[in-house]
Amino acid sequence: MDAFVVIAVSVVTAIATLILISAGLAVIFGLMRVVNMAHGEFLMVGALTTTSLVLKLHVPWWLAMMAAPFVGGAIGGLMEILLISRIYQRHLVDTLLITFGISLIMFQLAVDIFGTTPPGIETPLGALTVGSYAFPAYTLVLLVSAVVMLLGLYLLFTRTKYGLLARATAQNPAMALALGVPAKRINFITFTLGCALASFGGAVLAPMISVSPSLGQAFVGQAFMTVVIAGPAFITGTLLSAILLGGVSNGLSQGLTTLWGLTGLFAMAIIILRFRPLGVSSSWKRGL
């Protein structure tokens, strides 16, 4: 029984992690069809903001995490205005290359500012014990953050005016524009939101991982796979995709090694794509 609880906690953590690292990417890709190659660097921005605030300014960890999305959002918004908004009309590969270039620039700047191995922060809240097993209580924060993130997104896109306009723009940009939707502003908000979400994800994960400028690279591959497998329904699809991929990879990691977990995640993703090239949610009727 105790062992079961520990395994369950581990699986849930893996799923929550996937959600946290991919939600921002999913929003931008799902609504704008822009592949944000700099997504991993926004995770890194969030994590580094958190560790820096905690270590240098002694801000409480939860407050530091709340600040992270504002930093990431600001950088993302600037990037949208300066570069991305100018090339929406061009081929998809162009936005992909631009964001890729930005990803490299952000990485190198982070190395220049923080060094390759900046100090990390301790995992707050201590440990919970179940029988003879112990796991970090912070795991619950991860889980709650992932749930709040998805629920918040769902409410945002179903209950607000921005949400409605953003979905309309995604479905039929020409029509939305003809109806007077300020597509430019909507795209700006969506992109900024995606970058802010990524930074928040990175911030929440910061105490559990080794925070460094190359953090983005370590996670972005999994984030891309999760989003691709999710398909058009970028909230519920991401949830299902994270459950599938996170479940499989964590199961394999526990049974064998982390190496097998990653390989399993990748193999499973490729096999799903062979039969559902547009993702698991491609045949769902509702688009969220």
Partner 1 sequence: MTASMHGDDTLARDMALPVAIRSVQARNLTVFIAAVVLLVAAAQFASSTMALKLILWISFSICALSLDFVWGKAGIFSFGQNAVFGLGGYAYAVIALNFFPDSQETVSALLGAGLVGALSSALLGYFLFYGRLSDVYLSIVTLAVTLIIYTVLASTAGPEYHIGEALLGGFNGIPSLPGIAFPALFGIGGTELSIHQLLTFSILFTAAIYFSLHLLVRSRFGLMIEGLRSNELRMELLGYDIRKLKLIAFTIGGLIAGLGGGLFAAWGTFVNPSVFSLAQAATVVVWVMVGGRGSLLGAFIGVLIVQSAADAADLVITEQTPLLVGLLLVGVVMLMPDGIVPTLARWMKVGGHRPRELRARLREQGHAGAAADRRLSVADIAKHFGGVHVLRGITAAFGDHPIHAIIGPNGAGKSTFFNILTGRHRPDHGRVVLNGSDVSRVPTFQRCRQGLGIKMQVPCIFADLTVRENMQLAALISKDAQDIHQTLQRVGLSQRADEVARNLSHGEQQWLEIALLLVQNPSVLLLDEPGAGMSEEDKRQTIALIHSLSSQHTLIVVEHDMEFIRALSAPVLMLHQGIVFRAGTFDELVRDDAVIDAYLGRRSHAA
Residues that bind partner 1 (CB under 8 A): 33, 35, 37, 40, 83, 86-87, 90, 92-94, 96-98, 100-105, 107-109, 112, 216-218, 220-222, 224-225, 227-228, 258-259, 262-263, 265-266, 269-271, 273-275, 277-278, 285
Q: CA dihedral in degrees (211, 214, 219, 221; nearest 10)? A: 180
Nearer to partner 1, 42 or 224 (CB): 224
Please state, in angstroms and as integers, the Cα–Cα distance from residue 206 to each residue in 19, 75, 240, 276, 282, following that order. 15, 19, 24, 33, 33
Q: In the 8-state DSSP scheme, what is residue 68?
A: H
Residues 6+ apart with CB under 8 A from 45: 68, 71, 72, 75, 106, 110, 198, 199, 202
Tokens 């945002």 sit on residue: 156
Nearer to partner 1, 129 or 283 (CB): 283
Residues 6+ apart with CB under 8 A from 127: 134, 135, 136, 137
Q: How far is the CB of 116 from partner 1 (least distance, A)?
A: 10
Compute the distance between CA of residue 197 and CA of residue 74 in angstroms, rounded to an integer: 12
